[in-house]
Amino acid sequence: MLSNKKILLCVTGGIAVYKAVALVSKLTQKGAHVKVIMTESATRFVTPLSFQVMSKHDVYTDTFDEKDSNVIAHIDLADWADLIIVAPATANTIGKLANGIADDMVTTTLLAATGQVWIAPAMNVHMYDHPAVKRNVETLTQDGYQWIEPDEGYLACGYVGKGRLEEPEKIVALVESYFMPKHLPLKGKKVVVSAGPTRERIDPVRFLTNFSSGKMGYAMAAAAAKLGAQTILVSGPVSIDPPKGVQVVPVESAEEMLQAILKEYDTADIVVKTAAVADYRPKETFSRKMKKQPGDSSIELERTTDILLTLGERKQHQLLIGFAAETNDVIKYAKGKLEKKNADYIVANDVSKTDRGFGTDRNTVTLVGNNDYQVNFSQLPKEELALKLFETILKRQGLWN
């Protein structure tokens, strides 16, 4: 949800500044663009270089240090941000902001901001409970500022109580929730997604599989849940944490995946077949490990059931979306699958490229539909791409209400 979101972090002077470095790192890893402003006091605890390394952007510390002569920095930053977070926010900065004082880069920028501003206080428990601080907090609340309440626990000053900056992981979760789509076109719908590879056993220690990581399928499941759907994810063996709000059904073989999908198929509204299912399995499996023998050896293979074809043959009311991983003639094969397998859409991607497809965090795909419908999606993080695919398909189907 944070891909390409622009977040301005205002860092003020307290020992909790070290947590702000971790916050920048975690937001950046989520795909956000983060810019940092520091007060002079904040630079006493952590150098601007630390934030520069984590954010990959210049760090602002001086109102009069204009890094780009084409703009006025504090105005440009205030306009640039999708969300502004003050973390940690000291009693001093809260007091200045509540009284309209702009005497440094942080307060000057905050007074110029017209968008959403969150304040995450961090201070001694008695300072946080002081009547003056409480008045300033109330003033800013009335002015429309939002608060990330401090945590309770052991403080750097030795006291135990409320005043500790909220953990970076929790702040990131709040930011993700803020940017989560408020539009829920899939509310009341059931979406079944298949993801990952399958494994076809040869013996107790060997199996046939492929390079699928499951990342695209998991992104599709996460997107469906974020858009309001009851989401069931039928997953082959992967090393990915389950998306929030998604029911995961673990499977191993192609046959297990087929049966798990069919169990949910009749009551499904949308089925997204993202999994890279094995086309063949060993005709004979062994209960004991096959031992090495002199000379060559061969394994006779038989076809697995074509899951997408089976779903297409049984389709009634379901919207059926398939994925086609190809290495050549990508669009040609995608259009062939669309017709042969009675799918509504095929998402085609060229897995011969090393910067997209299997195992990567980004993907470049083409969405193919009936009546020569075709939409290209340039390289995007898979989470963002999944949301765009759903939006495009649902709008064409008249379901983006």
Catalytic residues: 157
Rounded Cα gap, residues 344 and 322, in angstroms:
8
349 bridge partner residues: 325, 365
Please tell me whether 337 is known to bind a ligand: yes
> Given the structure tokens 């702000």, which residue do they identify?
20
Rounded Cα gap, residues 194 and 28, in angstroms:
29
Q: What is the DSSP string of 231-277?
A: EEEEE-S---PPPTTEEEEE--SHHHHHHHHHHHHTT-SEEEE--B-
Please tell me whether 289 is known to bind a ligand: yes
Check: CB of residue 25 under 8 Å from CB of residue 54.
yes
Q: What is the DSSP string of 86-125?
A: EEEE-HHHHHHHHTT---SHHHHHHHH--S-EEEEE---H
Cα angle: 177, vertex 183, 187; to 5 degrees: 100
Buried residues in 119-132 as b, exposed as e (16+ CB within 10 A): bbbbbbbebbeeee
Q: Exposed, middle or buried: residue 382 (CB in 10 Å: 0-12, 13-18, 19+)?
A: buried
Rounded Cα gap, residues 82 and 8, in angstroms:
8
Please tell me whether 279 is known to bind a ligand: yes
> Given the structure tokens 């601080």, which residue do they identify?
133
Check: CB of residue 363 under 8 Å from CB of residue 216.
yes
Annotated binding site for CTP: 279, 289, 323, 337, 341
Annotated binding site: 279, 289, 323, 337, 341
